[in-house]
């Protein structure tokens, strides 16, 4: 059974507010977009935030993480395509 990974959901305005900001000493927020184009941060960023300017992230709603599909074709590849004999 696969475990569902949860992430914290941001609006675009909230993403802009925390982008490149410290959530704890030596730790920066890293908002990304998921497969549904939602702006999200990890629950670790949310949980370990100690910056008083951004404690509101602790109240963000959680949603299931939907990763963006990897555009790389499956299987081993070399510089010009598939590796022979694999």
Q: What are the sequence ranges of the domains in the chain?
A: 6-67
Q: β-strand 32-33 against 39-42: which pairing, if any? A: antiparallel
Structure tokens at 83: 């590796």
Instruction: Evaluate if pTM is beyond 0.75.
Output: yes
How much is the average pLDDT of 9-18?
A: 98
Q: How confident is the model at residue 2 (pLDDT cuts 50, 70, 90)?
A: confident
The per-residue pLDDT for range 47-83, each reduced to its tens digit, is: 999 999 999 999 999 999 999 998 876 666 656 666 6
What pLDDT does 50 receive? 98
In contact, 54 and 20? CB cutoff 8 Å? no
């Amino acid at each position: 059974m696969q475990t569902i990974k949860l992430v914290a959901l941001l609006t675009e305005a909230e993403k802009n507010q925390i982008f490149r900001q410290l959530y704890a000493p030596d730790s920066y927020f890293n908002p990304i977009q998921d497969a549904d184009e939602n702006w999200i941060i990890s629950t670790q960023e949310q949980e370990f935030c100690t910056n008083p300017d951004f404690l509101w992230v602790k109240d963000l709603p959680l949603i299931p993480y939907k990763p963006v599909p990897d555009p790389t074709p499956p299987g081993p590849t070399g510089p010009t395509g598939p590796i022979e004999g694999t």
